[in-house]
Every structure is written in structure tokens, then in C-alpha cells.
């Protein structure tokens, strides 16, 4: 119930005020979203509702084919939703996808480059700056400095002039993380960012992500390694069969994730 001046009283359903306030603060909002790959009849994600607030750190977990990668690609507009609405920064991604992606840093899963690829590691990282400044603008000294700074944070500055196709899978993954960071994004979407990393990098990069989050960047991390969830995380989403089946604090959400309902491959959610 809301009380206004002159004793006007407005009665609203329970939870309405909280939902209105969340919408105002939201940086990403999905409303009843489904996404179907071309040529497929069954949606990869189904009627998903999700809100990410400013400076929130969210983990998305679930078994293979749960729809986790599809969720990230739908948020950044690489995949068009077949139903519902996706809003990022208050913009409809279907209509403003290119503008939205200027402010998003995205690291795809299992990024691998052809060994004959002529681009250097620095070239790939600089593509993140082009996404920020526009392809018609020539990068300046500051842009190159930002690129080298991002590579240094990831311990790959010495690889700047190496052909990216000659790098190991873990090194290529760090190049892609640097490319995402150099955009100075408002939101980071990370799909299995630790999967190909060496032990030293598995310690270094989570600390870097924690520092970035501390600067006010909202982050969504898709992972299967729930043992490495950052202590700053206050929320975990669990997916199965294209649906969100839990959205809660890490302790309660991971209890669902580890339950037979999620871990048993033959049980499907209708």
C-alpha cells in the first residue's frame, strides 16, 4: 500500500513495489524470453525471466545443453529471441543490438583460432577498442596503451606481437578476455572463462574479475566449476532444459544444482 499527499491511498499487489524498484535499477532485463536456433523446433531457452542490477555479480550454472551459452548470446543480441523481450541499458536488444554491444564485453566459450590466422594477439585485443570507438575512427596512443595494459593484467603483454593462431588455447582465451576488458564495458558476459587456463591463471584471473566488479561493472559468469565461485557473489542462477530452475543465494542455489533433479541426465523439466 502506498500513501500519497491529501490522504490518497493506492493498494498494489504484494511485491509490486519491489519489482518496480528492481526494474528502475536493472541493467539487464529479460521478460518471458525464448530463443530457438534456426532449423530447430524446440527452443534452446524457454520463457526466461531475469533481472541483473547495476554492479551485480551473477553466476549461471547447469548441466550441458541447459541453455547457458544461449542465454548470453541472447542478451548481447548475437541470437534473436523468438519470444519475449530483452532489454539492456533500457534498450530493446532486438532494435538496438549494435549500440548495446558497444558497452558489453563478451568472452565466448572455447574460442580457437586457425593456426594460419595472420592477426597478432594485440590486433585481436585492439578489436575491442574498435567496438568502443567505432570502425571509422583510427585508434590513438591511448587506445594502444589501454590494450597493452589489459594484456599486462592478464600476463600476456609479451605475446602482443605473436600470431594469435600460434598461441595455446589458454593464451587465446586470455587474449579474448583482454579484448573484452579493453572496451571498458559496463557489463561483462563470460562463458566458461577459466576452462582452458593454466593453474597460475586460474588464480590470477578470478582476482582480476573481482577487482573489475569492485569498480562497478556488472558481470555474468557461466561456469561448470562451482568450486571457484568468487566470494563476492551473492546470487546464482541454475538452468536445466532451457529454463531457470533456481535463482537464489549461492548456498541454496547450489543445493538445487547438486540435486538429482539437475544432475540426472534422463530427467527433463517440461
Mean pLDDT per 10-residue interval, the chain, length 270 residues: 44 44 75 94 95 96 94 96 96 94 90 82 93 79 94 94 92 93 95 86 89 95 89 95 96 92 55
Task: Look at residue 127 and give its three-state secondary structure.
Answer: helix
DSSP code, position 109:
T
pTM, two decimals, is 0.85
Task: Write the CB contacts of 43 (distance below 8 Å, at least 6 apart in sequence).
Answer: 34, 35, 36, 82, 83, 242
Class of 1-97+221-270 per CATH?
alpha beta
The answer to whether residues 232 and 57 touch, using CB atoms and an 8 Å cutoff, is: yes
Instruction: List, in sequence order, every residue forming a beta bridge with 243; answer none if it has no partner.
Output: 240
User: What is the predicted pLDDT for the residue at 13?
Assistant: 47
Q: What angle do helix axes 199-214 and 169-181 make, rounded to 10 degrees? A: 10
Mean pLDDT value across the chain: 87
The structural domains of the chain, with segments of one domain joined by +, span: 1-97+221-270
Mind listing the pLDDT tens digit for each residue in 180-190?
A: 999 999 999 99
Amino acid at each position: 500500500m502506498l500513501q500519497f499527499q491529501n490522504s490518497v491511498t493506492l493498494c498494489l499487489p504484494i511485491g509490486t513495489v519491489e519489482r518496480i524498484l528492481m526494474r528502475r535499477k536493472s541493467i539487464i532485463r529479460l521478460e518471458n524470453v525464448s530463443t530457438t536456433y534456426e532449423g530447430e523446433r524446440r527452443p534452446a531457452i524457454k520463457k526466461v525471466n531475469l533481472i541483473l542490477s547495476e554492479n551485480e555479480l551473477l553466476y549461471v550454472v547447469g548441466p550441458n545443453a541447459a541453455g547457458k551459452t544461449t542465454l548470453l548470446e541472447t542478451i548481447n543480441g548475437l541470437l534473436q529471441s523468438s519470444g519475449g523481450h530483452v532489454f539492456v541499458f533500457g534498450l530493446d536488444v532486438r532494435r538496438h543490438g549494435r549500440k548495446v554491444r558497444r558497452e558489453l564485453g563478451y568472452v565466448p566459450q572455447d574460442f580457437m583460432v586457425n593456426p594460419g590466422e595472420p592477426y597478432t594477439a594485440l590486433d585481436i585485443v585492439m578489436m575491442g577498442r574498435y567496438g568502443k570507438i567505432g570502425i571509422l575512427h583510427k585508434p590513438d596512443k591511448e587506445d594502444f596503451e589501454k590494450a597493452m595494459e589489459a594484456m599486462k593484467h592478464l600476463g600476456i603483454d609479451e605475446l602482443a606481437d605473436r600470431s594469435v593462431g600460434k598461441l595455446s588455447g589458454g593464451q587465446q582465451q586470455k587474449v579474448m578476455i583482454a579484448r573484452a576488458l579493453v572496451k571498458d564495458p559496463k557489463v561483462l558476459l563470460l562463458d566458461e572463462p577459466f576452462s582452458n587456463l593454466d593453474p597460475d591463471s586460474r588464480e590470477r584471473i578470478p582476482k582480476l574479475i573481482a577487482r573489475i566488479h569492485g569498480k562497478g561493472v556488472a558481470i555474468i559468469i557461466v561456469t561448470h566449476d562451482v568450486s571457484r565461485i568468487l566470494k563476492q557473489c551473492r546470487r546464482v542462477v541454475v538452468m536445466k532444459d532451457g529454463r531457470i530452475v533456481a535463482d537464489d543465494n549461492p548456498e541454496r542455489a547450489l543445493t538445487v544444482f547438486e540435486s538429482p533433479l539437475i544432475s540426472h541426465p534422463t530427467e527433463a523439466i517440461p
